[in-house]
Amino acid sequence: MSLHSAFNKYPAPSGINYAYGTAGFRYFGDQLDSVAFKVGVIATLRSICLGGKTIGIVITASHNPPDQNGVKVVDPMGEMLPQSWEPFANQLANTKDWHQFNQLVQERLPENYLKSRDIVPMVVIARDTRQSGPRLVSAVIDGVNALNGHITDFGMLTTPQLHYITRCSNDGSFGVASEQGYYNKLIKTVTKILQINNYDCLDAVTVDTANGIGGDKLQKINALNHVMSFHVINGDTAHPLRLNVDCGADYVKTNQRLPHGVGNPIPDQLYASFDGDADRLVCYFMDKGGKFRLLDGDRIATLFASLIGGLLCHVKGIHVTTAIIQTAYSNGSSTEFIREKLGLPVYFTSTGVKHLHEKAIEFDVGIYFEANGHGTVVFSKKYLEELKKYEAKNSSEQVAVDTLILLVDLINQAVGDSISDLITVLVALKLMKKSVEKWGDDYSELANKLFKLKVADRFVFKTTDAERRLIEPVGVQEKIDEVVKRYSKGRSFVRASGTEDAVRVYSEAANEDDCTELGEKVCEIVK
């Protein structure tokens, strides 16, 4: 199909102003056909501009309701589409006129390509379990084909698996670019870590997979290995309308309670939840007193930092920089724990993993997590080089060095990954001989609450200082400051959501009542 015919096949609906947000274009599934076609075009152009590198596309709306969907572009190394391409993506998505559309496309084509046409643009795509997925994949394929690109459809994958495949397609040293390649790398690495540390297997764990794609993939891992096993609950992918309903990482984090389907949890035993596309992880347990204890992204970051920091202490003479990157939503107690107990620096960035990732790569070991469970660890080249050339003085040092090297393959550095993050949690607890209770007792969270407000125009809320302070509307921040200072350990901030048409208000304080009262007062100021 020519570009012109494909353009006519996918008319942009009127009345919607599409915007490429932190998670790509995210709308109701039936509003995305024209956008999906155009994202096929954008990914192909991006591949051409990068000399034929493989670009990824994921069709998912993550933790959002089943009738929504999203289209997101993944850059060659598994990162997000650079911000500099977002205005172009928005322009294309909103263009209804063929001539204007064609002109925008032609202008993006590099001169050398126009002369020789010797680049084959490469795109890989996968989707989650949503009903609108197959239709949107077809629209993307039409977009790629219209520009003579080559596209491989990987069917249903977790978002991190597609990031992994994109990265491997451009960097063979990362692994084999297939779903099987992903499992092989993970299983081989875990097996090796356990073996050198003298363990047979990891503890089995119950995982709520939000009735999303993560459940199917965990079952595959169960069938492929002997060192780890996952008991999947909320793993019904045959009924897409159950996706994220009363379960999943977002439900557990937001409501601070067990997901549907756990029944009577065994006290002090670890449970975990993924979100719908398996890029977020939260853990939790019921303590002996029957209290629900959440182990969110902040906790996972501190656990990983303890594991890596502990191993590095065994290897005297290695000098690498380590830091933890957080967002304004990270609990104040976790920040204090990292600075004071772990002795590590903490940096803050705006919400959205691309911001955290950018900061994390400034360090040899950059650990970043959003409180909602989205995050990973990135390691520098220097980290690997130093460890590989290190001459261990005894066998325990050697085990520490080898484990530190293997962590690079265990953790999906391309993006936060529920599966690999969960396995790393299990490895960390095993290697540090740490119980779940002990993990939960590292620090106590300050009471915290998240409010969502509908406002006439969320874009009037402009922030600074990693989104922790408002600069517009003028005068609002001063009113918030005035309220916050009346509460012990009080903290509150306001920002426009990048994924929903709403404004979020976060409050934190020494106790529940104060936290709720503070949050409600700030909501009153914003309304």
* Binding site, annotated residues for substrate: 370-372, 495-499, 504
* Contacts of 155 by beta carbon, 8 Å cutoff, 6+ apart: 126, 127
In 234-270, DSSP assigns E strands to none
Q: Which is nearer to ligand NG1, 35 or 61 (CB)?
A: 61
Q: Which is nearer to Zn ion, 406 or 422 (CB)?
A: 422
Q: Using CB under 6 A, list all residues that contact ligand NG1.
A: 22-23, 62, 329, 351-352, 370, 372, 374, 497-500, 504
Q: Confirm or reject binding of residue 62 to Zn ion (CB under 5 A).
A: yes
Tell me which of 5, 14, 34, 62 is the catalytic residue. 62
Which stretch of DSSP H or E encloses residue 219? helix 213-224
To the query of whether residue 116 is one of the catalytic residues in this protein, the response is no
φ/ψ of residue 292, rounded to 5: -75, 125
Shortest Å distance, C-beta 425 to ligand NG1: 19
Shortest Å distance, C-beta 353 to ligand NG1: 7
> Using CB atoms, what's the residue nearest to Zn ion?
62
* Contacts of 343 by beta carbon, 8 Å cutoff, 6+ apart: none
Annotate 410-424 with DSSP letters as a single string.
HS-TTS--HHHHHHH
Shortest Å distance, C-beta 502 to ligand NG1: 8
Tell me the binding residues.
Answer: 62, 275, 277, 279, 370-372, 495-499, 504
Shortest Å distance, C-beta 61 to Zn ion: 9
Q: Confirm or reject binding of residue 179 to Zn ion (CB under 5 A).
A: no
In this structure, the dihedral spanned by the alpha carbons of residues 441, 442, 447 and 452, taken in order and rounded to 10 degrees, is: -120
* Contact partner at residue 352 from ligand NG1, Zn ion, none, CB < 5 to 8 Å by partner kind: ligand NG1
Q: Confirm or reject binding of residue 69 to Zn ion (CB under 5 A).
A: no
Measure the CA angle with vertex 125, ends 55 and 370; round to 5°: 80
CB 484 within 8 A of CB 515: no
Site string for Zn ion, 278-317 (x = CB under 5 A): -x--------------------------------------
- The two counts, helices (H) then strands (E), for the chain are 19, 19
Shortest Å distance, C-beta 410 to ligand NG1: 23
What CA–CA distance (Å, rounded) separates 409 from 391? 21
Q: Which stretch binds Zn ion (CB under 5 A): 57-65, 69-77, 375-383, 387-395?
A: 57-65
* Contact partner at residue 22 from ligand NG1, Zn ion, none, CB < 5 to 8 Å by partner kind: ligand NG1
* Contact partner at residue 372 from ligand NG1, Zn ion, none, CB < 5 to 8 Å by partner kind: ligand NG1
C-alpha distances out from residue 428 to 75, 275, 310, 437, 441, Å? 30, 22, 10, 14, 16
- Of 491, 505, 492, 493, the closest CA to residue 455 belongs to 505
Provide the annotated active-site residues: 62
